[in-house]
Structure 1
Amino acid sequence: MTGTPLDPRALRDAFGCFMTGVTVVTALGPDGKPLGFTANSFSSVSLDPPLLLVSIANSSINRAAFESAPGFAVNILAEGQKDVSATFARPVEDRFATVYWRKGPVGSPLIAGVSAWFDCTLEQAVAAGDHTILIGRIGGFEATPAPGLGYYRGAYVTPAQTAAQLPTGPDVVISAILEAGGQILLMDDGQGGLTLPTARVGREGVQTALAQLIAATGLTAAPGSIYAVYEDVAQGRQHIAFRCAAETGRPARGAFVDLTAEGVADVTDPAMRVMLERLADEARIGNYGIYFGTHEQGRVQRTGER
């Protein structure tokens, strides 16, 4: 278990190892009783401050309780906990009746024997289509040597199974919006158009992938705040875009263009182009928001809005 402040390197390593797999998200209800549901994945959002996100279906009877709870925990199940996954995935009157748990350092229920856990305070709850995204600020975490439990194509998988049975690649894509002096960095997308610096995320985790993506541009920039989270339903990918303040300089690839609708007109991907057009409008009036939804529709939540 970590203390306060959290160890960024240990937290980054934990994210890199446990970004995928079967998780049980838990919280305490208004009556003090534990609540939980099974989720197939979660995402790191930021290391400074340490934030992660999970989503809960709006149809869940526990959605309101999770939105109003002071915090929640993400429990990454170990390979021997298929029964726990099944219990929290189906309607059961008391899902904790056969599960040993304790309160974590932040106060959320932690399930015994898991591969890892993250205990969080609720930073923000954001409506996004038919789900609600829960953003948590990590107050404590622990990663154990126990191998994690995965789920792929309708079946559980474990590290002991062959690599051929596992997904061929990650389904998380990140983009870096590198801003300097009213301009942003765009690159040739190889299709006659432009794109943001973009990378797919592997086991290294989002934050490490973002740092590597920025370094590859040859610019000096700090990994910034999340600006958009959206799902490309057709391709089965989740996109996360980060705004990063960059120092003016000569990039190793691409070039800076004006942050205007005209400047981003040659961006090939429609969702990315619309996102950048929104950023241009927000930069002009100084009122920024975070987009949550799909590549076709969603909502913008203004900073500080609940």
Structure 2
Amino acid sequence: MSIDPKAFRQALGNFPTGVTVVTTVDTDGTPRGLTANSFTSVSLDPALVLVCLGKTTASHPVFMEADRFAINILAEDQRDISGLFASKSPDKFSQAAWHPGTTGAPLIAGAVAWFDCTVHQRVDAGDHTILIGQVQDMGQRTARPLGYCQGAYVGFQLQQAAQEALARQARTTALIETPDGVLLSAGPDGLDLPTSGDVAGLLDALKQHGVQASVDFLFAVFDTPTGSRIVYRGRSAHPPKDNALRCIPVAELPRLNLANTALQAMLNRYARERAQDAFGIYIGNQDAGEVRPLATA
């Protein structure tokens, strides 16, 4: 069986992880680092951890020669650091606060936890190298970690925003994507997103139209003159079985030209962020607010 690399990557993206910056120094002492979420513990005694490094990354040769490295687990407010070390910027360490650890490997300021390691073993594994480190020093602080799943950062702060909106008797809306497109309800006032009083009610309503769906992540939390609105991203493996719901291909969403300008703007944003596979969260009201960008790690 041939496994499609893109589909494989997307399937793996369903496993929520933290976000780390892996750092080392090259032979002339220049700090090097990259963003990675393939990190896990290996052993308690001795204390071993590992991270998987892509062989095509620019700093891979440096990590293959270095005898030390550090793994910095990023905090929820360090999305900019994740984006910086995922970029091709040649001067990453001039834009982030850091200091050398016990081994000399750079430790990123503000990380929720860090592990300063010497290289224990390198394992060749396909298009990656498994880098196993023996922990020589470590530290942690009280903070919320940064999470990553399905192409977007996730965190507790946005969940709290949703809970606050629910306390204001919010309506629940969802952008449900199927293999054929996004589901829109066809009513007397035109197209709209499926809406209910809460998530359970929304999912039950979709089932009545033959749609077995899930809601996964927040897309927007905003206030309207009639109350608060929570919008989730969700998905379904199958299209609806009746005409009460329509599947609109993602690429066609910006061309709908709906009378409801707030809804049209939301669909435009969804199409744009889906194309980039990097979503944000909108916080505000139906007229103005802020989209917090969630760049791919």
TM-score by length of 1: 0.46
TM-score by length of 2: 0.47
Larger radius of gyration: 2
Structure having the larger proportion of residues in helix: 2
